[in-house]
Amino acid sequence: MISRGGRRQFVESTTSQQILARFFSSQNQTSVRNLHHHHHHHHPLVVFSSSSSSSSSSNSARCSPSSSSSLLSSQKRQQRRGVVTTTTKEKKNDSHHGGDDAIGGKIPKKNSSSSSVFQNDNKTIARSNRGFAAAAAKSPEDYPPHSVIPFPSLSPTMTQGGVASWAVSEGAKINAGDILAEIQTDKATMEMECMDDGYLAKILVPAGEADDIPIGRAIAVTCENEEDVGKFADYVAEDTVGNASVLDSGETSLASAADEPAAKAILERPEYEAIKKGDLTRNSRAAGRDLDGSKDEDLNGGTATASKLPADSPSMTVRDALNSALSEEMTRDEKVFIIGEEVGEYQGAYKITKGLHQKFGAERVRDTPITEAGFTGIACGAAFMGLKPVVEFMTFNFALQSIDHIVNSAAKTLYMSAGTISCPIVFRGPNGAAAGVGAQHSQCFAAWYMSIPGLKVLAPYDAEDARGLMKAAIRDPDPVVFLENELLYGESFQLPKEALDEDFTIEIGKAKIMREGSDVTFVAFSKMVGYCLKAAEELEKDGVNAEVINLRSLRPFDREAVARSAKKTGRVVIVEEGWPQCGVGSEIAACVNEDAFDYLDAPVERVTGVDIPMPYAANLEAMALPKPADIVSVAKRTLFRGD
């Protein structure tokens, strides 16, 4: 949701009840339902389409909303989830044989090369021509209309698993709601449920054959008609057909911003021509601020400002940055230890603690039962006695089980003991939306912890943040809540060489200016920083110079840096993926109004997640989260407010 308008057209035309109704009535999906999980929490898992080409149109009609731009079509959902739908073409259309892609019912072009490349929802996938190899070298178009079901994923970090059992046999009629198979991974056992009618034409991966089937590998083929089942006896699909997990990042093409009603209204205004020409005349009340964007040398007030790194600067993933910081701090201080579920022998649910169990032993990398309240209480007690625990939660959704210890034990004891008992502890894990994990596992708790006195709350964006802030958190004498983002773990970032120093830390409470600008200020944290940078690049094409502030620290947050930027640009847009009411943006907006009101040329704007529990369906999930295009639309609107 975008407060003060923005995606207002969505909020007004599509209520929360309508979203939920679509969520529960969505029919063009095959779901994987949790049967048994090693964790005691509910785990809605992945969904992926298994509809055939002929049924997709009807299902699309069933699921489509009043606005075609609001929901993805059935075909695009199939593209995202990696389902290859093939349709036999009529003789009269044979001229199109071998044209376009193999996703969404199109066929890969034939050539003499040993491999082909095609697009799957903006992800390029290389496939060998032997993917559908058979003795007769038959191609998908040689078979009747069918759908290939890929091996599903539990999460973006899962890479493989196995088929424990098939609930139906080849040739069997399958109806919506039937259980197709039991999927087993190293973390869970799931039932794969069908929501479309048809026939199981061929099982490509027998039960129990392997436990290392890669995500996206074709495991079965379905068809529409019973008489076609026998035609798939020689069907072979050896290669990966796509990613079966719901890994939509919530991003949409920035070009689509111009198609949104809010953006169109702006583009049609005569003032927009001024932006195109870079002539941004405004009724500026900012004393000493030049309209051409010039500024005093000390305008940033010492706030860290990103600079272009040399080409030979090292790169590191956020996962490796966290892992190296933990390892170095455990080497530096023997009082530091890690505790949590699967942090030791399994090396972490997201491999953040990889190698630490072998390096430091079970005494300092402690696996626990599934009892967040229990091991959090143990860790708080250890901190009271002078140790420095790092508590890993599989996600901060599970930290709800232990929030009593976080708030009433860790945060308050220093105050309640008149300063005699400190609690040097770090609570870390992924926070916010991942992909396709449902309402109970997609919540952002930044605002919750940000409101608790006694806690320090950090939210890194890139590898430099992750490494420097983690070291600072472990060395800090107070309890620190360290909010990571699961979708950033695998992202690689360049970082300055000094960030690799073992004593490199980032000061808690200090923001970083990722991009300097003069026309509008974007304030964000975690994954939304990247979205703001993308939006700023898009706005630059229209002559708008946006400044992007990476908060890094939420409690305390760098109030001075935000106020300085607001005074410089006169316009502020705060971006977060959490809920709008009482969110992080609410507090920052209040502070901006208190500190820089006389300098503002327009009201402070917010871009947030929609005010509903996170939908499970991929298309609705994408609608519920902010996108770069939303930021672009709001920025363009705020540039004309108050003029």
Residues marked active site are found at 372, 441
CA angle 73, 76, 78 (to 5 degrees): 110
CB 514 within 8 A of CB 526: no
Q: Would you state the torsion angle of the CA atoms of residues 224, 226, 227, 232, taken in this order, to the nearest 10 degrees?
A: 70
Q: How far apart are CA 595 and CA 143, in angstroms?
A: 68
Reference 567, options 541, 593, 588; nearest CA is: 593
CB 481 within 8 A of CB 458: yes
Which residues lie below 8 Å from residue 566, measured CB to CB, with a gap of 6+? 521, 572, 592, 595, 596, 599, 600
Reference 402, options 425, 419, 421; nearest CA is: 425
Residue with tokens 């198609």: 259
Q: How far apart are CA 563 and CA 594, in angstroms?
A: 9
Residue with tokens 């990613």: 243
CB-side exposure of 57: number of CA atoms within 13 Å?
Answer: 4
Buried (b) or exposed (e) across 35-47, using 16+ Cβ within 10 A?
bebebebebbbbb
Q: What is the DSSP letter of 568?
A: H
CB 208 within 8 A of CB 164: yes
Tokens of 330: 């455990």
Which residues lie below 8 Å from residue 280, measured CB to CB, with a gap of 6+? 274, 291, 519, 543, 544, 639
Q: State the greatest distance between any 2 C-alpha atoms of the chain, in Å, as a whole number.
A: 86
Rg of the Cα atoms in the chain:
26
Q: How far apart are CA 365 and CA 336, in angstroms?
A: 10
Q: CA quadruple 490, 495, 497, 503: dihedral positive or negative?
A: negative
Q: How far apart are CA 569 and CA 520, in angstroms?
A: 5
Whole-angstrom CA distances from 92 to 54, 166, 334 are: 19, 40, 75
Reference 397, options 350, 445, 438; nearest CA is: 445
